[in-house]
Homo-oligomer: A and B are copies of this chain.
């Protein structure tokens, strides 16, 4: 971890006086101290200094390390908590967020049953292979066309009813040892596997949703007639630094489920 935030407008550490040398003049690239602290903490998360599920240093310790007040560290951590990168627990400390939590399971999967409570679906891996990225996939993953990708196709069922048919493309570089066996063995959400076994943590995603008609293959797997209307959700997931690390295309059967979205 870096020793202290760099401040474009003057010497780094104030450490005394009413107001620090945090802002001054009209320097071209200025950011508040707490944003710099936030960036430094994010670096610690990204570099693996603090791993998912672990405790990060206390506010007091970070304040000492960075030579700023506790309030400034607090504001930095507040934002990280708002972005779900860390979780605060009173009396215990601040923990790095992980996908191995009940509350994380439905952060990205927004398909919920029309009645009853959501629960984890059964998972049938249909296909896993390595291939060269098609142009469209390469573009969305910010790879070069022809770079290696891992392709996964799977069918998810709720209470025995096939409901989600999903295709994934992952950068081959980041997921070298990913095999069908590993996927089948692993229980729980796929993002937990990615995090634990491949050190890649998804922190944000962007989805584009359309309605499409089921083609013959999808219709058969989902057990519906050809042309049945399906939700098509195309998701690009990002890790630290807005780096795209997953493309996912899901076909959702919305006969007994719906995509839940709360706008505010």
Contact = CB atoms under 8 A, between A and B. Distances in A.
B206 A258 contact: no
Contacts of A252: 211
Interface residues of A, number: 32
B211 A262 contact: no
A165 to B, nearest CB: 13
A103 interface: no
Contacts of A254: 209-212
Given A227-B227, A231-B231, A262 B213 contact: no
Interface string A241-264: 000000000001010001111111
Contacts of A258: 208-210
Interface in A202-257: 203-213, 227, 229-232, 235, 252, 254
Nearest to A82: B82
A138 to B, nearest CB: 19
A108 B262 CA distance: 10
Given A108-B263, A261-B261, A264-B84, A229 B208 contact: no
A101 interface: no
A61 interface: no
B210 A231 contact: yes
A107 interface: yes
A206 B110 CA distance: 13
A260 B83 CA distance: 19
A210 B102 CA distance: 25
Interface of A: 82-84, 107-108, 110, 203-213, 227, 229-232, 235, 252, 254, 258-264
27 contacts: A82-B82, A107-B263, A108-B263, A204-B264, A205-B262, A205-B263, A206-B263, A207-B260, A207-B261, A207-B262, A207-B263, A208-B258, A208-B259, A208-B261, A209-B209, A209-B231, A209-B258, A209-B260, A210-B258, A211-B211, A211-B232, A211-B252, A212-B229, A227-B227, A229-B230, A231-B231, A235-B263
